[in-house]
Amino acid sequence: MTTLTRRQLLKPLAALGPAMMLGTPVWAQSAWPNRPIKMVVPFPPGGSSDGLGRLVADKLAKQLDANFIVENKPGGTTQIGTELVAHAPPDGNTLLLAASLAFTQLPVLRSKLPFTIDDFEIAGGISAYLPVMAVRKGLPIKDMKQFIAYAKEHPGKLSFGSAGEASAGHVYGLTLARDTGIKVLHVPFRGSAAAVTALLAGDIDFIIDGAITPMVKADKVQPLAVLYSRRHPELPQVPTIKEAGYNVTSPTSSGWSLLAPKGTPAPVMARLSDELQKLLRQSDVAEALARANSVPDWQTPTEYRQNLRDDQKMYGELLPSLGITTN
């Protein structure tokens, strides 16, 4: 029997590369996905972000032949769910359906935020938001002109709800008030679904949120405008705010993206990026995204990271000008 030297024994292992020599199994990345993948949505069930997260999870589950579990982790204007994923194991089994406000508005509002975009790997930007403005039934308001006139006749009396402090609906409401010279009262809720419920109950007067779309289609509220550059595909009869005759600042937004904890293997992120692009090219996805109140808006990881930084600078100037300050 031939006796092998230690060098001869190690030589075949060395050929497998540094990862094996350091004790990292070379099959770990190629085996992904090998167990259920958790998709964290930092919003409550029932809103636009929840619908988008479930759409993406369902599509990726089929494309990757994997099981996806959607977990709603609302709170802190997306901080709770976002922080949870930032500290999760970087193994590709925990993902975040991220709202850009976690990295644009929140850093302006909170001086000691426990994460930045650099704590995440980016698979890509997915879609842009379609905010819809609607008022409760019973008000003598059928269009934007009547709304502005009524608000000026009753300064500070009209209230609007949003998904929380510095959420998209909050910022849109304040920019609308500033740019049209009206005074309104903001009422924050724990998510869009709660704000919609309050509008239907008559507890607030209006909302600027895509989550109101089903109620518009059911004729339970009066739509006034879409605060986007084009009309909502599900609501072709509702004009854009510009078409309605008003030049209202529409804050730029990097929209939604798919993120993973920093250190998630590059092959996993590359696979996710490829699958997201395939997802957004599917013929039925644009219609499904419209139902989730968004439009496809693919951004590469590099583009999305830069857009976040640009938006954070923009919000650093906009939020204080609206009276939304650091806490």
- Give pLDDT, residue 4: 43
pLDDT digits (tens, 9 = 90+) for 272-302: 999 999 999 998 898 888 887 888 889 999 9
When pLDDT is averaged across residues 89-113 and rounded to a whole number, the result is: 92
Between 16-25, 78-87, 186-195, 199-208, the lowest mean confidence (pLDDT) is in 16-25
Residues ≥6 apart with Cβ < 8 Å to 210: 48, 129, 130, 131, 132, 192, 232, 292, 293, 294
3-state secondary structure of 309: helix
The SS3 assignment for 206 reads: strand
- Cα torsion 290, 78, 322, 249 to 10°: value is -20
Residue 164 and residue 177: Cα distance in Å, rounded?
17
Distances (CA, A) of 70 to 2, 39, 114, 124: 57, 5, 23, 19
Domain 37-129+253-321 maps to which CATH number in 3.40.50.150, 3.50.50.100, 3.10.20.30, 3.40.190.150?
Answer: 3.40.190.150
What are the angstrom distances between the C-alpha of 260 and each of 90, 101, 225, 264, 268? Answer: 7, 17, 35, 7, 10
pLDDT reading at 266 higher than 70: yes
Strand-pairing partners, residue 208, are 133
- Per-residue pLDDT at 112: 86
Which has more confidence, 225 or 228?
A: 225
pLDDT of res. 317: 87
Q: What is the mean pLDDT of the chain?
A: 88
CB 128 within 8 A of CB 253: yes
Alpha-carbon distances, residue 53 vs 44, 120, 186, 232 (angstroms) = 11, 18, 27, 19
Residues 6+ apart with CB under 8 A from 1: none
Q: Rounded to whole angstroms, how far apart are CA atoms 231 and 151?
A: 24
* Residues 161, 168: Cα–Cα separation, whole Å: 11
Whether the predicted pLDDT of 213 surpasses 60 = yes
Nearest to 246 by CA among 223, 231, 226, 232: 226
Range in 6-15, 102-111, 179-188 with the lowest mean pLDDT: 6-15
Work out the pLDDT band at 122, boundaries 50, 70, 90.
very high
Mean pLDDT of 134-147: 97
Q: pTM score, two decimals?
A: 0.74
Instruction: Flag whether pLDDT at 15 surpasses 60.
Output: no
Burial class (CB in 10 A: 0-12, 13-18, 19+), 111: exposed
Q: Domain spanning 132-226 has what CATH number?
A: 3.40.190.10
The half-sphere exposure of 188 on its side-chain side, counting CA atoms within 13 A, is 13
> Quick one: pLDDT at residue 257?
96
Dist. CA 168–CA 164, nearest whole Å: 9
The pLDDT assigned to 27 comes to 36
- Quote the pLDDT of residue 33: 94
Confidence class for position 1, pLDDT limits 50, 70, 90: very low
**Distance (Å, rounded) from C-alpha 157 to C-alpha 144?**
17
Query: Residue 168's pLDDT is what?
Result: 84
Per-residue pLDDT averaged across 47-73, rounded? 93
Query: Where are the chain's structural domains?
Result: 37-129+253-321, 132-226
Q: Report CA torsion sign: 86, 87, 91, 96.
A: negative
Tokens 């730029």 appear where? 252
